[in-house]
Structure 1
Amino acid sequence: MPEKTFIKKHATPHTFRHKFISVLAETKVNLPTVMEEVGACVMKTTMKIYTHVTKK
């Protein structure tokens, strides 16, 4: 049986998208590659919305 976590936030597909893009940004994957992976088309929007999520 899987162990329970202490995560309280309701997870949605959008939550996982944010996390995925944030991890890619933290690991210095170049932005055009990130955008291609997630189907984003506006670089400025991608930077503004997704790269602020983590402290790194």
Structure 2
Amino acid sequence: MSNLLYTIAVILVFFWALGFFAYNLGSIIHILLVIAIIAVLLRLIQGKKL
């Protein structure tokens, strides 16, 4: 389950970067970034190692 959370966070950051540099979709891209950051923070707070 924790690997899935980390994978989703990485995918969201990738899509954010892609959208930010290529498509400029506006606020939706920043929402994806915030979700990815929250997912990574939850993983760090849980204290599980990679």
Query: TM-score, normalised on structure 1?
Result: 0.36
Higher relative contact order (CA 8 A, sep 6+): 2
Larger radius of gyration: 1
Query: TM-score, normalised on structure 2?
Result: 0.39
- Structure number having the greater helix percentage: 2
